[in-house]
Amino acid sequence: MNTKITGTGCYIPSHIETNAEFSHHEFLNEDGSLLKQSNDVIIKKFVSITGIGERRYASPEYNTSDIAYFAGERAIDNARIDKESLDYIIVAHNFGDVRHGSSQGDTLPSLAARVKHKLEIKNPKCIAYDLIFGCPGWVEGLIQAHAFIKAGMAKKCLVIGAETLSRVTDQHDRDSMIYSDGAGATVVEASPESESGIISHESASFTQDEAHFLFFGKSYKKDADDTRYIKMHGRKIYEFALNQVPSAMKACFDQSGEDIKDLKKIFIHQANEKMDEAIVDRFYRLYDMQAPEDIMPMNIATLGNSSVATVPTLFDMVKRGELLGHEIKKGDVIMFASVGAGMNINAVTYKL
């Protein structure tokens, strides 16, 4: 018995926020002083590092649980299953429902409970719970669903990653340009086809000096209220990711027993274009190889960093043929990988 992805779906908000929208922002240093460079220079440097030209923001009337529901419903439809047959609904997020105009997260009831309610699932044995694991949350949800299936505790699970990061960003922090909103979902099912599905996985949590590389902090604007926003030590995260993620990916892939030359695609968390490219390059160097040119699909240029939603959204887009130059087919070996707050790392090797 193995675990297969039988349905995918995503929700990409319609509102596009271009880099030009940040040209009027007052970007400050941590001490509240004005950055020396002009906004045009700041934005140009930002694009050269992250690759982000625009991002998506959720409409004011939608919360994280709403867009999670949209993605989940599409995955259920794509899998062609009876929603009442779901054993688990796992919703990965980090900030709960954050209403437009507010930065306070709401997790009562859980987002998974809200999604189940919106789906109108009546079955009380369909267990709904939230997973907070930083940006690797959806990948970890996939691993947990796999564990339930392998243990005989479930046959069908819905795993969703959703976030509205635009509502927890400090407009005076240039890092605010990274973040975006979105949701991605997959239906995973028990399958007797042992030659396909999840074939290996790896997870790790680094919580010594790394624990607070991402954190909640006050605005850089000194006379601002006490509202907290997402903050990060970007350089430390970059160095941590390059030092730790490639080896975790290799440990995962080596467990699969597959030949590295047969790996077709790596669906990596869309955090930062340069960082992702460096991670994949270092991963292949561990095999004394150069990374194939088409190994890593990316949508960060137009969708930004939507945390837990990036990997399932990217996978859904490629699966549907919506990302030019990238396709996957039955029998292909692929990898999911992510790194984020905690600091947490995970990876999954999967055969289509």
pLDDT mean for each 10 residues of the chain (352 residues): 94 95 91 90 93 96 98 98 98 94 86 98 98 97 97 97 95 94 98 87 96 92 85 94 97 96 97 96 97 95 97 97 92 97 96 96
CATH number at residue 323: 3.40.47.10
Which among 265, 330, 257, 338 is positioned nearest to 5, based on CA atoms?
330
Q: How many domains does the chain have?
A: 2
Considering the entire predicted model, what is its pTM? 0.95
Residues β-bridged to residue 187: 7, 158
Report the pLDDT value the prediction gives residue 101, as an integer from 0 to 100.
80
Report the pLDDT value the prediction gives residue 301, as an integer from 0 to 100.
96
Say whether both 185 and 214 belong to one domain: no
| Phi, psi at 303, each rounded to 5° | -110, -10
Say whether both 278 and 154 belong to one domain: no
What does the pLDDT look like over 101-155, one tens digit per residue? 887 888 899 999 999 999 999 999 999 999 999 999 999 999 999 999 999 999 9
Say whether both 125 and 246 belong to one domain: no
- What three-state secondary structure class fits 136? coil
> Which among 194, 212, 245 is the end of a domain?
194
CB neighbourhood size of 73 (10 A) = 18
> Which among 152, 168, 194 is the end of a domain?
194
Say whether both 239 and 176 belong to one domain: no
The answer, yes or no, to whether the previous bond of 296 is cis (omega within 30 of 0) is: no
Q: Are 335 and 266 in contact (CB under 8 A)?
A: yes
Q: How far apart are CA 218 and CA 138, in angstroms?
A: 28
Report the pLDDT value the prediction gives residue 195, as an integer from 0 to 100.
77
Determine the residue type at 322: E
How far is CA 108 from each of CA 62, 65, 94, 159, 307, rounded to the nearest angstrom?
A: 17, 11, 14, 19, 21
Say whether both 25 and 171 belong to one domain: yes
Report the pLDDT value the prediction gives residue 16, as an integer from 0 to 100.
96
Say whether both 176 and 37 belong to one domain: yes
Which among 167, 121, 7 is positioned nearest to 71, based on CA atoms?
7
> Which among 145, 161, 194 is the end of a domain?
194
Q: Hey, what are 162's tokens?
A: 């959703």
Say whether both 78 and 179 belong to one domain: yes
Say whether both 163 and 301 belong to one domain: no
Torsion 298-299-302-303 (CA) sign: negative
Say whether both 175 and 224 belong to one domain: no
Q: How far apart are CA 31 and CA 321, in angstroms?
A: 46
Report the pLDDT value the prediction gives residue 183, as an integer from 0 to 100.
98
Specify the pairing of strand 88-92 against strand 127-131: parallel
Report the pLDDT value the prediction gives residue 102, as an integer from 0 to 100.
80
Say whether both 15 and 163 belong to one domain: yes
Say whether both 155 and 207 belong to one domain: no
Expressed as residue numbers, the domain containing 101 is: 2-194
Report the pLDDT value the prediction gives residue 31, as an integer from 0 to 100.
87
Say whether both 120 and 247 belong to one domain: no
